Structure 1
Amino acid sequence: MVRIIFAIATILFGFVVNAQDLEKSLLWKISGNGLEKPSYLFGTMHAVCEINFDDNLKKALDETSQLYLEIDMDDPTLQTSMMKDMMMKDGVTLSSLMTEEEVKLVDDFLKANVNVSIKMVDKFKPFMISSMFIPKLLECPMQSIEMELVKNSKEQNEEVYGLEEISDQLAVFDKIPYKTQVEELIKTAKDNMVEGKAEFKKLMAIYDDQNIEGMLDVMKESDNKISSDFSDVLLNDRNANWIPIIERVSKEQPTFYGVGAGHLAGEKGVIKLLRKKGYTVEAVK
């Protein structure tokens, strides 16, 4: 009887430990499970006001010999490939998903904020149009952590790769109903980005606090249906696809992985998925 109680307690304790929130850290060390040298996993934010790589991050970059981002941002064909997959499928257009009043609202908003008319982007996936407003949400000169990582890799004569193709990334927005994406675009135009700016500011504060679990919580609780209702296609499915690549690549040579911080946290995040595969993934303080 004592053995049975002990076994149940062990199982329950293991579940509780596994379900605990992750530590506050953006940088994580991947080791064990047959790896000769450690690799590192870093949570990025795709648009920030300033970039400060601390000593731990610089050390991790020095100890690794190649860079993997979500996509290969050093690929010279990236822009051409991107243009092919920015359009909605089956001849769907923005204006076909809106009323006349909504078309005018969005058209005026686009002209005022990004200096384009709705006719110029009528075939674009709505989320791609929403991404044009990111510099406005920041309210500061936008900087890219990913491009800074690429710059560092070039200075060290290291190769840059992607965990997925740009076509894979943009295909995600064919899985989220275009109508839902359009509704979020209309909401942004109606309130002139007030809600978007507030949420972005909140995300940046949580990111600066290195609270990756908090970032995931904000996405889940967001009024933006794209973030809150489609975490599987935005995060979880992609995380699962990346794990075999991370395993293979890390066995070949020590690698620095830079992916959106939201991909790290949660039970289906990259950190816990790697732990379930037998790797030691620990926060670097």
Structure 2
Amino acid sequence: MKRILSVFVATLLSVFSVNAQKLENSTLWKIEGNGLEKPSYLFGTIHMTCDATIENDVKKALDETTQIVLELDMDDPTMQTKMMSGIYLPKGENIRDYITEEEYKTIDSLLTNHLGMPLKLMENMKPFFLSTSLYPKLLDCPMQSFELELMRIAKEQKEDIKGLETMEEQLEVFDNIPLKDQYADLIRMAEDNLEYDKTNFAKMLKVYKDENINEMLAMMDDENNTTVAEHQDVLLDQRNENWISKISEFAKEQPTLFGVGAGHLAGEKGVINLLRKAGFTVTAVLE
């Protein structure tokens, strides 16, 4: 369960971006140069999907590398405890401090219908947790995750699993976004009973299958989501920038496969461009 929850957090963090420079349609990129003895690879994932089958080119990259680094070390035994400590509103506060009675009833209906749990039991939880708890309901199939699949392979190959961020750092991202904006998105989800989000996510799955990382950026810049439109610097840009030195360190230690949400790859402030600016040669694996 702790790994599923972390996937939901990562999902929410990965569905934000800005449209920028055009790159080849590929979710797998080779990292070379800048002092690397052997190449590493950057794999753009989608955290929640119907089919997390690892393609042959990614399998080959896994064979050529000796460790896997995800956005978060999902094998950390303390992860669930850290997550649970960060999902609650400040002491003494609850959702009624931020929304109207009518909005409360709408959200209560959504959670009761989809999770079988009334809002009364979750009144003191932060809105991001309520939203991510609903994410599996956007799929019309049993949920699969590329992160969980990569972890399975790493264990089979007896390789280390590490993270670019800590759980505290991921939770801090949401603490830097006003609660009123997060509640606005939750209310919108409730008002149409997830219909918009289901349609949008189905389109995202199609775009991901086509490996069109540029189109993912274009569709993610969605004004219907207040959190997306107003806080992309916190959700995406700053995190990408923070990852570059860590990617460099990991890659120089040993050949590494990095798995991050595909929404982080393209764009002027995307990981690919930032790695190139840092002196690495980053090329699409087109097979």
Using the size of structure 1 for normalisation, the TM-score is: 0.91
| One-letter code aligned to 1:22 | L
Preserved CA contact (<8 Å) 1:69 1:258: yes
The superposition leaves residues 128-170 of structure 1 with CA deviations (integer Å, 9 ceiling, x where unpaired) of 1111111111111100110000000000000101100011111
Question: How far is the alpha carbon of 1:221 from its aligned partner?
Answer: 3.0
In the aligned structure 2, how far is the partner of 1:240 from the partner of 1:216?
17
The superposition leaves residues 67-92 of structure 1 with CA deviations (integer Å, 9 ceiling, x where unpaired) of 10000011111111100111223643
Give the secondary structure class of the aligned counterpart of 2:30.
Answer: strand
- Dislocated runs of 4+, deviation >6 Å: none
In the aligned structure 2, how far is the partner of 1:99 from the partner of 1:55?
51
Preserved CA contact (<8 Å) 2:184 2:226: no
Aligned: 1:115 with 2:119: no
Give the secondary structure class of the aligned counterpart of 1:130.
Answer: helix
Preserved CA contact (<8 Å) 1:220 1:229: no
Aligned: 1:106 with 2:113: no
In the aligned structure 2, how far is the partner of 1:221 from the partner of 1:186?
16
Preserved CA contact (<8 Å) 2:21 2:266: no
Residue matched to 2:64: 63
| One-letter code aligned to 1:221 | D
| One-letter code aligned to 2:243 | W
In the aligned structure 2, how far is the partner of 1:122 from the partner of 1:152?
39
In the aligned structure 1, how far is the partner of 2:65 from the partner of 2:223?
36
Q: Aligned residues: percent identity?
A: 52
In the aligned structure 1, how far is the partner of 2:121 from the partner of 2:266?
38
Gaps of 5+ in 1: 1-18
| One-letter code aligned to 2:175 | D
User: CA RMSD for the aligned pairs?
Assistant: 1.2
Aligned residues: 267
In the aligned structure 2, how far is the partner of 1:88 from the partner of 1:284?
44
Question: How far is the alpha carbon of 1:218 from its aligned partner?
Answer: 1.0
In the aligned structure 2, how far is the partner of 1:216 from the partner of 1:52?
23
Aligned: 1:36 with 2:37: yes
> Against the structure 1 CA distance between its residues 184 and 221, is the aligned structure 2 distance closer, same or farther, given a 3 Å change threshold?
closer
In the aligned structure 2, how far is the partner of 1:88 from the partner of 1:271?
36
Question: How far is the alpha carbon of 1:229 from its aligned partner?
Answer: 2.0
In the aligned structure 2, how far is the partner of 1:234 from the partner of 1:52?
27
Give the secondary structure class of the aligned counterpart of 1:163.
Answer: strand
Residue matched to 1:14: none
Residue matched to 2:8: none
Residue matched to 2:10: none
Gaps of 5+ in 2: 1-19
Residue matched to 1:261: 262
* Aligned ranges 1:175-190 → 2 under 5 Å: 175-190=176-191
- Please say which structure displays the higher CA radius of gyration: 1
| One-letter code aligned to 1:61 | L
